[in-house]
Amino acid sequence: MEVIKLNDQYIQPFVSEQEIEQITPYAQLALSQLLEGKGAGNDFIDWVQWPTSYDKEEFQRIKQTAQKIQSDSDVLVVIGIGGSYLGARAAIDFLSHTFYNEVSPKRGCPKIYFLGNHLSSKYLNELLEVIGEQDFSINVISKSGTTTEPAIAFRILKEKLIRKYGKEEANRRIYATTDQDKGALRSEADENGYETFVIPSGIGGRFTVLTAVGLLPIAVAGLNIEALMGGAEKATALYQQEDVSKNEAIRYAMIRNILHRKGKQVEILANYEPNLRSFGEWWKQLFGESEGKDHKGIFPTTANFTTDLHSIGQIIQDGPRNLFETVLTVKESPSEVRIMADEKDLDGLNYLENKTLAEVNQKAFQGTLMAHTDGGVPNVVIELADMTEGTLGQLIYFFEIAVAISGYLNGVNPFDQPGVEAYKRNMFALLEKPGYEKLADQG
């Protein structure tokens, strides 16, 4: 059964098959460069074969550690920023109960909170209040251990852990996902005996969701990481094919590249399920950091329908024609609600009697699709069979391959992120970090 299907019939008025044929040889070249390791950024392409080559021994340790955390902790605090938390959060939200933290204790899993992805003292203080006297553990994720946001969060949470348990027990409740050999966090972990997991040196942060970076929190949430990796493994066979008529990830990359050359500067990843919102945040980083270089790239943003149809729907429908939509839609709803008749029918909804909410949602999707394409907005539809681990594993790999091909087609290195450091240099100077004072004087 196809768990992911690319439906591109709604871009046909905007992109012709002739255009796709003309760009196909370049896409095939990009794929061969990626698979053979001959393209730009080839030091960071280990993710390409990761679903089949991942460390099976570490994978077993991840499962064992997840069981330990489930047995001794009411709360797991995941500390990381960017790719160090977005993938795990996306997967947990995609696969779990919408109100996971409210129901997790009944399912034998700890509540999971994410920290270290901003500098809000309000959020931090309120999280400390929520943790209170509950038993908790920390999964700190950082290749270097010196990134400002997670480093501050770890320092504060570690202090709370030591106060509660003493240093020896606190060390047993800290799990560090970091570089295998170097960095401040690696040194601290070795010195204190933290259980450690590896961020592979050949995989950049935004591609690490299928490594220990994402897998440990996902496993702690009680989700099936074997099925997740199995879905990704199936995706390698599908999306490494040179025949683009069978490779939907590459076809998607070609379509968005053609649209970009026609002046489409913004891509909206839209969904009709609230559990897909965090996936959109992961997707934004993947595409934004990979493509946005040399004054090139499509600006990635998200929309959550039908909610946002009542806010930004107007500008999508009638605003500038510089955007297109990629819509995630789920064929099989994981749960159902049926609409019943009301004797007075004051809200005028009796015409929906016996229809399911999923049916109404589907018609909203279809109606929006027609309205937006009629209004000049190209729509690419990615149909998901369900919201299970196997489907998610395949979807993650689909977008990873697509963004790599898109980057190469646009002449950029999709595996670096030089612009991310600019704000840090200014912030350090303003904070008078040693070595940055001269820049502060210039301001």
Residue pair 70/136 in contact (Cβ under 8 Å)? The answer is: no
C-alpha Rg value of the chain to the nearest Å: 23
User: Which regions of 96-253 does DSSP assign to beta strands (E)?
Assistant: 111-115, 136-141, 174-178, 195-198
Pairwise CA distance, residues 318 & 418, whole Å: 36
**Is residue 174 packed enough to be buried (19+ CB in 10 Å), middle (13-18) or exposed (0-12)?**
buried
For 324, 372, 377, the CA distances from 319, given in Å and listed in that order, are 12, 11, 10
Amino acid of residue 341:
A
Which residues, 6+ apart, have CB-to-CB distance to 307 below 8 Å? none
Could you say which DSSP state residue 293 is in? Answer: -
Structure tokens at 252: 């998607």
Is 424 one of the annotated active-site residues of the chain?
yes
Could you say which DSSP state residue 47 is in? Answer: G
- Partners of residue 338 on adjacent β-strands: 356
Considering 149, 233, 289, 291, which one is annotated as catalytic? 289
Which residues, 6+ apart, have CB-to-CB distance to 379 below 8 Å? 10, 11, 324, 325, 326, 327, 369, 372, 373
Q: Could you give the residue ranges of the DSSP H alpha helices within 174-247?
A: 184-192, 212-220, 225-239
Query: DSSP states of 88-103 as a string?
Result: HHHHHHHHS-TTHHHH
Is 296 one of the annotated active-site residues of the chain?
no
Angle between helices 212-220 and 86-95 (to 10 degrees): 40
Strands laid side by side in the 111-115 sheet: 111-115, 75-79, 136-141, 174-178, 195-198
Pairwise CA distance, residues 138 & 29, whole Å: 44
Structure tokens at 341: 């008749």
Considering 2, 159, 424, 432, which one is annotated as catalytic? 424
Structure tokens at 74: 């009411």
Tell me if the bond preceding 326 is cis, omega within 30° of 0.
Answer: no
Pairwise CA distance, residues 195 & 139, whole Å: 10
**Positions marked active-site:** 289, 424
